[in-house]
Amino acid sequence: MRRLFRLLAYLALVAALGLITASLFMAPEKLDSPPPPPLSGQVDRIIIEKTARRMQLIQDGKPVRSYQISLGFSPAGDKERQGDGRTPEGEFTIDRRNAESAFHLSVGLNYPRPQDRARAAAGGYNPGGDIFIHGQPNGLAEGFKLRGDWTAGCIAVTNAEMREIWAVTPIGTKVEIRP
């Protein structure tokens, strides 16, 4: 059983790396839209709608920004284990910020939560971790965006959008990820 689990984990990792590598060779999308006016103050909440591939910043109860997003390479359903390519669903909190990320800036979510760890422990597998909202891979030319869902479970936006998100989302910001 342990060998089977290791084999499945290895195959999932190989598949994930293959999809990520393939996405890097697809022609990135060129973005030419002018930047919106700057936001003032911090946001209260972020709402991510996986099916719509949309993320909204909420300030004083109202949406003030909406972004088209990329998700994990296998986005349907809630994240269950490391390597499944899914983006988790539920209520989270931004608990860290990384200006030196492999992607253009990143803010981390508190996944796995205690209930995610308990589920994984009961099933005998790793729940995964390191779920971030981040920009494009470092080295991709400014103004370009990889197409499709290509992350390992994170939420990706353009670099310009990530700079804006970075500026208005402190540690403690609530994030709701809906199916």
**Domain assignment of residue 35, given as a range:** 2-178
Q: How confident is the model at residue 15 (pLDDT cuts 50, 70, 90)?
A: very low
143 token code pair: 């103004």
Cα separation, 172 vs 28, whole angstroms: 33
- pLDDT score, position 3: 62
Q: How far apart are CA 16 and CA 9, in angstroms?
A: 10
**What CATH number does the domain containing 120 carry?**
2.40.440.10
> d(Cα 65, Cα 37) in Å, to the nearest integer?
10
Indicate the number of domains in the chain: 1
Indicate if the pLDDT at residue 20 is higher than 80: no
Answer yes or no: is pLDDT of 11 > 50.
no
| Other beta carbons less than 10 A from residue 24's beta carbon | 13
Q: What is the pTM of this model?
A: 0.80
pLDDT tens digits for range 70-112: 999 999 999 999 999 999 999 999 999 999 999 999 999 999 9
Q: Residue 35: how many CB atoms within 10 A of its CB?
A: 9
Which residues is 63 bridged to in the sheet? 58
Indicate if the pLDDT at residue 19 is higher than 70.
no
